[in-house]
Structure 1
Amino acid sequence: MKSVNGMEHKKVLVLGLAKSGVAAAELLHKMGAFVTVNDAKPFEENIDAQRLLQKGITVICGRHPEDLLDEGFELVVKNPGIPYTNILVADAVKRGIPIWTEIELAYLISEAPMIGITGSNGKTTTTTLLYHILNQGGLNPLIAGNIGTVACSVTENATADNVVVTELSSFQLMGTERFKPKIAIWTNLYEAHIDYHGSMEEYSNAKFAVTRNQDASDYLIYNADQEVVVSYANKSHAHKVPFTTKGINYLGISADDDMIYWLGKPFIKRSIIALPGQHNLENVLVAVAAAIIMDCPKDKIEHVLSSFTGVKHRTQFVREWQSRKIFNDSKATNTLATRSALAAFKQPIVLLAGGLDRGHSFEELRPHMGNVHAVVVAGETAKRFAEFAESCGVEKIAYADDMESGVKQAADLSNEGDVILLSPACASWDQYPTFEVRGDKFIEAAMKL
C-alpha cells in the first residue's frame, strides 16, 4: 500500500456506512487520520458503527446534525448512494470541503495499475469477462468496485504484480479528484440516474471522470458508435482506442458478422464467442482490447471467450426444460436493458416482466417485441405492461402474484423451442429487496419445473 502524504492527523468525516463507508473509515484510521463516522441508522441497531467505535473511531449515529461541519473537517468521504442534495454534502460543497468516495482512496494507495470500467450498461459483464481473461493470462487480476469487494480494501493489499479491474458507477466517479486508471473503459451512455444527478449533462460529466485525469501514457477504450461518447472521448488526453460493431476500424477494435479485428487486422473469429447477444459483443470487444493492451496471450483470450456464458442475473442461462431454454435477466431494471435482452434471441420468447412503477414508458421495447408471443406480468407495472404488450400484438398475457406462479404460467404458455426470459424492464423494490433476490427466486422456480 502506498503512503498518502497529508492524511496523518487530517480531520475526516465519513458519511454513511455500508461496506464502502466501513472500509474507508478503517483505512483512514490506519493512515493516521482523525476519523468521525456519521450514519443515519441508530447506534443500538448499527453493528458496523459499534465495531468502529471499539477501534477508537468517533461515531455519530441516528441523525445528520446540521452543524456537524462546524467541527473543522478537512475532507468528507461519502457513501456513493448519498446524493449531493443531502444537507451535510450540500454544506460541504458550499464550504469548499473536498468530497470523495472511497474510489479516490483506493487509487491513491494502490501499488497496482487500475482498470476503470464505466457505462450505463454492460459494466458488470465487461468487468467479469476481463477479470477471467486476465486471470487465465496469468496477470494476477483483482476485481473491485461496484462489483464484489470495496475497492480500497482490494488496493490496500494489492502489489505491483497485480492489476485491479474496477467497475465504477457515476456515483463513485463523481467523488474523485486525482483518480487516473491505466486503462479506462466507457461502454456506452444512456439516460439514467437523472433523479440523482439532476440532468443528463451532469450524469455524463460524472462518467467522464473515468478518463478526466488520464494522459498519453494511459488508454481510453470507448464506444465509437455513440456520438455523445465520442464527443467526451475527444476531450481525453489518453491514447484512444475506439470500439465499434459496425465494421472494421483501423484505430481500435471492431467487428463484422464473422470476425473481431484489432487495428483493422483479423484477430478472433466471432463463432467461438459463447456469450449471447449483440449487446454482449460490445462487452467482448472492450474486454479483448484491454486484454491486448495488457499483453495477454491470444490463446488465453480465445479460451475464455469460448467458455464464458455470462454473469448471474444478466441474460444468464438457467436450464433447458422440455426443449425450452430459460434465461434470467433480473438485472434488466430498465427498458434499455430489456431491449438488449430481447434483441439477443431469434427464437420465440415468453417474457416475464414488470416491477416497481417509476412511470417510465415501455415504448422503446416496441421494435423488439416481434418475437414475444406471450407475456407474464407482475408487480406495480403489471397492468401497464400488459396493456403495452397487447398493443404490440401479444395475444397471450397472464398475471402472476409471485415468481413461482409466474414461472409456471410462462411454462404453460410456452412451446418447444421457445426462450422463457425474465427481463422485467423495472426495478424490483415493489416485491423484492434487490434484483438479485428476484433473480434467485426465478432460478429457484425454474429448477422446480
Structure 2
Amino acid sequence: MKKITDYQHKKILVLGLAKSGVAAATLLHELGAFVTVNDQKPFEENSAAQGLLEKGITVICGSHPPELLDEGFELIVKNPGIPYTNPLVAKAMKMGIPIITEIELAYRISEADMIGITGSNGKTTTTTLIFKMLEQASMHPLIAGNIGTVASEVAMKATAENQMVVELSSFQLMGVDQFKPHIAVITNLYDAHLDYHGTRENYAKAKANITLNQTESDFLVVNADQEELLEWVSYSKAARIPFSTQRFLKEGVSIKNGRIVYFGEEIIDTGDILLPGKHNLENILAAIAAVKIVGVGNEAIQHVLKTFQGVQHRTQFVDEVHGRKFYNDSKATNILATQSALQAFRQPVVLLAGGLDRGNGFTGLVPYLSGVKALVLFGETAKKLEEAGKKAGIQTIIHVDNVEEAVPVSYHLSEPGDVVLLSPACASWDQYKTFEIRGHIFEQAVHRLKESQ
C-alpha cells in the first residue's frame, strides 16, 4: 500500500457505511484524516458504527442532516447507493465539496495495476473469468469491488506483483477523480438503473468514466458491436482492443469458423467452452482480451474455459431432479439479463420471475418467451409479468408468494428434459435484502425438493 499524505489532517465525511463505508473510514483514519462517519441506521442498532467509534472515529447516526456540512468538510466519500438527490449530497454539491466513492481511495493507495470491469450485464462473469485466467497463469491476481472484498481493503494488501481485478458499478464510477485502471473493460451498455441516474445519458457517462483518465499507455477493451458505446468512449486516449460476437475482427477478439481468434491467433474452439449461452461469449471475448494484454498464455485460458461452470447466481447450474435441470440466475435483476439467460437454452423452460416494481413494463421480454412453457411468478411485478406472458401465448401462469414456494410448483409443471430457470428480471428488494439471498433460498429449496423425491 502506498503511504500517501493526500488526506493527512483533512476533515473528511464518510457518508453511509455498509462494507465500503467502514473500509473507507478505517483507511482514511489510518492515513491521518479527521474522519466523521454519518449513517442513517440508529447507533444502538449499528455495530459497524460502534466499531468505528471504538477506533476514535467520530460517528453520527440516525439520519443524514444537511446541517452537518457546516462543520467544514474538505471531502466526502459517499456510499455508492446514496443518490445525488439526497439533501445532504445536493447541498454538498452546491457548496463545491468534492464527492468521491471508495474506489477512488483504492486506486490512490494501490501498488498493483488495476483491471477494471464495468457494463450493464456480464460484469461479474467477466471479472471472474479474468481472475481465474490470471490465477491459472500464476500472476497473483486479487479480486475486488462489487464481486467480493471492498476494493480499498484489497488495495491495502496489494503489492506491485499483484493484478487487482475490480468489478465496477456505474454508481461507483460517478465518484472518481484520478481513478485510472491500466486495463478498462466495458462489456456492453443497455438501459439500467435509470431510477438512480435519471437518464440514459447520465448512465452512459458514468460507465464511460472508467476510461476518463486513461492515457496512451493504458488499454480499453470495448464491445465493438455497440456503436453507441463506441461513441461514448470515443474521447478515450487508451489503446483500444475491440471484441465482437457478430463479425470477424482482424485487430481485436472475435469468432471465425467456430474458433475464438485474438489478433489472428486462434485461442479455442467455441465447442470446447463449458459456460452456456451466447451472451457469455461476449464475456469470454472481453476476458480473453484483458488477459492477453498482460501476457497470459493460451493453455491457461483454455483450461479455465473448459472447466468454468459459471458465477454463482448467474445462470448457475444447481442440480438435476428427475431429469429437470435447475438453474439459478438470481443476479438477473433487469429484463436484458433475463433475455440473455433465456437465449442460453434450447430446452423447454419453466421460468421463475418477479420482484421489485421499478415502474417499467415487460414488453421487451415477450419475444424471448417463445421457449417458455410455464411461468411461476412472485413479488410486486407478478401481474405485469403475467401480462407479458399472456402476450407471448403462455397458457400456464401461476402466482406464488415467494421463491421458496415457486420451486416445488415449477417441478410439477415441468417434465424430464426441461429447464427450471430462476431469472427474475427484477431486483430482489421487495422481498429479499439481496439477490444473493434470493438465489440461496432458491438453491436450498431445490436441494430439499431433491431429498423429498
Contact 1:374/1:395 (<8 A) preserved: yes
Structure 2: distance between partners of 1:73 and 1:358: 35
**Offset, 1:51:** 1.3
Q: Structure 2 matches for 1:98-177, cutoff 5 A?
A: 98-177=98-177
Q: Which moved more, 1:375-384 or 1:188-197?
A: 375-384
- Alignment match, 2:17: 17
2:265 is the alignment partner of 1:265: yes
Alignment partner of 1:411: what SS? helix
2:445 maps to amino acid? A
Contact 2:275/2:309 (<8 A) preserved: yes
Q: For each residue in 1:208-242, what CA deviation from the matched residue of structure 2 results, as whole angstroms up to 9, or x when unmatched?
A: 11001001110000011111111123210000000
- Alignment match, 2:397: 397
Task: Structure 1: give runs of 5+ residues left out of the alignment.
Answer: none
Structure 1: distance between partners of 2:441 and 2:213: 43
- Alignment match, 1:67: 67
1:190 maps to amino acid? Y
- Alignment match, 2:311: 311
- Alignment match, 2:183: 183
Aligned sequence identity (%): 60
Contact 2:361/2:384 (<8 A) preserved: no
Alignment partner of 2:211: what SS? coil
Any runs of at least 4 consecutive aligned residues in structure 1 with deviations exceeding 6 A, and if so which? Answer: none
**Offset, 1:390:** 2.0
**Offset, 1:256:** 4.2
1:155 maps to amino acid? A
How many residues align structurally?
A: 449
Structure 2: distance between partners of 1:13 and 1:171: 18
Structure 1: distance between partners of 2:70 and 2:246: 56
- Alignment match, 1:446: 446
Task: Structure 2: give runs of 5+ residues left out of the alignment.
Answer: none
**Offset, 1:321:** 1.6
1:446 maps to amino acid? V
2:88 maps to amino acid? L
Structure 1: distance between partners of 2:430 and 2:96: 39
**Offset, 1:396:** 1.8
Contact 2:137/2:300 (<8 A) preserved: yes
Structure 1: distance between partners of 2:255 and 2:360: 33
1:363 maps to amino acid? T
1:123 maps to amino acid? K
TM, length-normalised to structure 1 = 0.97
- Alignment match, 2:387: 387
Give the root-mean-square deviation of aligned CA atoms: 1.2
- Alignment match, 1:81: 81
**Offset, 1:356:** 2.1
Q: Which moved more, 1:198-207 or 1:64-73?
A: 64-73
Structure 1: distance between partners of 2:380 and 2:133: 40
Q: For each residue in 1:217-274, what CA deviation from the matched residue of structure 2 results, as whole angstroms up to 9, or x when unmatched?
A: 1000001111111112321000000010012101211124611011133222111111
1:80 maps to amino acid? P
Q: Which moved more, 1:133-142 or 1:370-379?
A: 370-379
Alignment partner of 2:421: what SS? strand
- Alignment match, 1:412: 412
Contact 2:315/2:327 (<8 A) preserved: yes
Structure 1: distance between partners of 2:29 and 2:313: 36
Q: Structure 2 matches for 1:416-427, cutoff 5 A?
A: 416-427=416-427
Contact 2:220/2:241 (<8 A) preserved: yes
- Alignment match, 2:199: 199
Q: Which moved more, 1:346-355 or 1:106-115?
A: 346-355
